[in-house]
Amino acid sequence: MKIDRRTGSRRSWASRLAEAAMWLAAAAFIIPVYYLFVTTFKSPAEALRRPLGLPSDWSWHNYAVALDTMQFGRALANNVTISAGAVAGIVLFAAMASYSLARRRRRYTRFVFVLFLAGMMVPYQMGILALFRLVSELGLMNTLTGVILIEIAYGLPFSIFLLKGFIESTVPLELEEAAKIDGCTVYRTFRSVTLPLLTPVLATVTILNVLGTWNDFITPLLFLQSRDKGVLLLEVFRNIGQFSVDWTSLFPMLFLSIAPLLLFYLFLQRYIIAGMTSGSLKG
């Protein structure tokens, strides 16, 4: 069997070009993160003189100033409270709603699902004035509870969309029918049979909503007026000057704001891998 050397050479060059393109794409993402990290250890003069060079003195002074200026402990506690409350509500309500929408074959369930899809299509900012008035009339202005409820309402449509599709395509209906024959109620069937099989998609829903809630800036800015209720991004925003910005002071604040998310991903990684195999059927 003869091998065409020209075809092999073309494939070799194509693979090299693809590899070079991937290296360039990786550098485009890594260089800004590297620049952010090394600048946190530099003085303002050194940051201007050697923007991409390593710092001559790895000083933690900028982090100490950032922790004190942005009141990191209080802002972090508010961030964790909002994210944990919102994600718990989204996962709970989205799982129950998507299970009902997936298993009930009636006309009104399709209509309700279309309403949730409409929530994905309509931008959140279009109803901000009506939402501001509603939150004010309910007495939830400047409260973490109000922000949590807004985040739940905003995250439900896409989460229901993901969960409903996963239930219909992956969770066998025969398992639920067997549970009903054994005497399980609808709630017990959902809790004991269906919910454990949703682990992979629930991990995805959790990650997406933690990311969106943690990085949300508009909602805390509009609905949390007092500083003791502020979150990390609001503290970073408050320390940006009107006419100039001290980047060596701002970058440690940015890094401290994203550090909890990095730890969250490292902690959740093994649960994602375990969740990908927990929903398999045993023969």
The pLDDT confidence band at residue 283, using thresholds 50, 70 and 90, is very low
Q: Quick check: helix, strand or coil at residue 71? A: coil
Q: Are 237 and 119 part of one and the same domain?
A: yes
Task: Encode pLDDT of 189-216 as tens digits.
Answer: 888 888 888 888 888 888 889 988 998 8
Whether residue 190 contacts residue 98, with contact meaning beta carbons closer than 8 Å, is answered with: no
CA separation for the pair 80, 231 (Å, rounded)? 9
CA separation for the pair 229, 235 (Å, rounded)? 11
Tell me what pLDDT residue 144 has. 93
Tell me what pLDDT residue 151 has. 93
Write out the residue range of the structural domain in which residue 26 sits: 5-62
Q: Is the pLDDT of residue 16 over 70?
A: yes
CA separation for the pair 130, 134 (Å, rounded)? 6
Q: Is the pLDDT of residue 11 over 80?
A: no
The pLDDT confidence band at residue 238, using thresholds 50, 70 and 90, is confident
**Cβ-defined contacts of 239-245 (< 8 Å, 24+):** 239/69, 239/70
The pLDDT confidence band at residue 54, using thresholds 50, 70 and 90, is confident
Q: Are 88 and 30 part of one and the same domain?
A: no
Whether residue 54 contacts residue 224, with contact meaning beta carbons closer than 8 Å, is answered with: no
Q: What's the Cα-to-Cα distance from 273 to each of 83, 170, 199, rounded to whole Å? A: 23, 17, 10
Average of per-residue pLDDT across 86-102 = 92
Q: Quick check: helix, strand or coil at residue 155? A: helix
Q: Are 240 and 155 part of one and the same domain?
A: yes
Average of per-residue pLDDT across 149-166 = 90
Average of per-residue pLDDT across 2-30 = 74
Boundary (domain end) residue, out of 22, 38, 62: 62
Boundary (domain end) residue, out of 13, 38, 62: 62
The pLDDT confidence band at residue 9, using thresholds 50, 70 and 90, is low
Q: Is the pLDDT of residue 124 over 70?
A: yes
Least confident of 32-36, 118-122, 220-224, 277-281: 277-281
Question: What single DSSP character describes residue 280?
Answer: P
Work out how many domains the chain is built from and give that number: 2
CA separation for the pair 114, 120 (Å, rounded)? 10
Question: What single DSSP character describes residue 124?
Answer: G
Q: Is the pLDDT of residue 97 over 70?
A: yes
Q: Are 21 and 90 part of one and the same domain?
A: no
Name the helix (H) or strand (E) containing 7.
helix 5-39
CA separation for the pair 88, 148 (Å, rounded)? 10
The pLDDT confidence band at residue 272, using thresholds 50, 70 and 90, is low
Tell me what pLDDT residue 282 has. 42
CA separation for the pair 279, 200 (Å, rounded)? 8
